[in-house]
Amino acid sequence: MNITLRIWRQHDADSPGRMIAYPVEGVSADMSFLEMLDVLNETLTLDGQEPVAFDHDCREGVCGMCSLAIDGVAHGPEALTTTCQLYMRHFSDGDVIDVEPWHAESFPVVRDLIVDRSALDRIIAAGGYISAPTGSAPDAAATLVPKAAADRAFDAATCIGCGACVAACPNGSAMLFTGAKATHLGALPQGQPERGARALAMVAAHDEEGFGGCTQIGECTAVCPAGIPLDMISRLNADVLSALRSPSP
Ligand code: FES
């Protein structure tokens, strides 16, 4: 099939950006969206033009690097799907498809479709860890983990940190990401000692990075490729409130 891409081109964070149209011919329905961009880039390179910069790594839906807004929707039209796992069979011959970077104040554009998502790393650095004593490895059965807690922690840990939640949120909030990362540790016995301090530190880092507050709109969970539910945010808010009521000594 033949399609037209309208792609956001921007030299760097300080330059203005604009949409430029590119025809792409001979697109196979079995190509992923990124493979289709590879074809475009090969053509541009052979023509002596600058290829389109876009983020990717695993191309298997697990690393969270791919990050395109396709026709205005983070990761495109398919639910529970990363951009790298989106296939061209979901589009039709003659389609005109808009491709943009994540638009969020806390994610400045680096070039074309690549944004700087290091603000998410700084939220993790603020509290996304547990402290463990040094020495020999503890007995594997020394700390029993209830099945419900293990399941909850695992569900939270499926967040791949792509930032689609931020891109979709009208407030530019990263609370779904922060809630998932805090819950992933806070649901487990090993994460209890720092649970309150972790919630406070991660939310403070979230706010310092300029992300907006959550007003429970739910766009984040609608585009999340891992299906992280909105109640991860409620759980984080409950941890914050409880820590404020009973601060650690
Ligand atoms: S490239 Fe790794 S999740 Fe898409």
As a whole-number percent, the residues of the chain with pLDDT over 90 amount to: 93
Which domains are present in the chain?
3-111 (3.10.20.30), 117-245 (1.10.1060.10)
Distance 59 CA to ligand 1 centre (A): 4
**Phi then psi dihedrals of residue 246, to 5 deg:** -130, 75
User: Per-residue pLDDT tens for 233-244?
Assistant: 999 999 999 999
Res. 133 pLDDT band, cuts 50 70 90:
confident
- Report whether residue 56 contacts ligand 1, using a CB cutoff of 6 Å: yes
* Cα separation, 223 vs 55, whole angstroms: 18
247 has a pLDDT exceeding 90: no
The Å distance, Cα 32 to ligand 1 centre, comes to: 11
* 224 vs 146: CA distance, rounded Å: 27
For residues 62 and 225, the answer to whether their CB atoms sit within 8 Å is no
Does the C-beta of 63 come closer than 6 Å to ligand 1?
Answer: yes
| Pocket residue to mutate for ligand 1, from 82, 87, 102, 117, most atoms within 8 A of Cβ | 82
Instruction: Tell me whether strands 96-100 and 18-24 are parallel, antiparallel or unpaired.
Output: unpaired
Mean pLDDT, range 67-92, rounded to an integer: 98
Q: Tokens 């956001």: give the residue.
A: 8
pLDDT at 231 over 90: yes
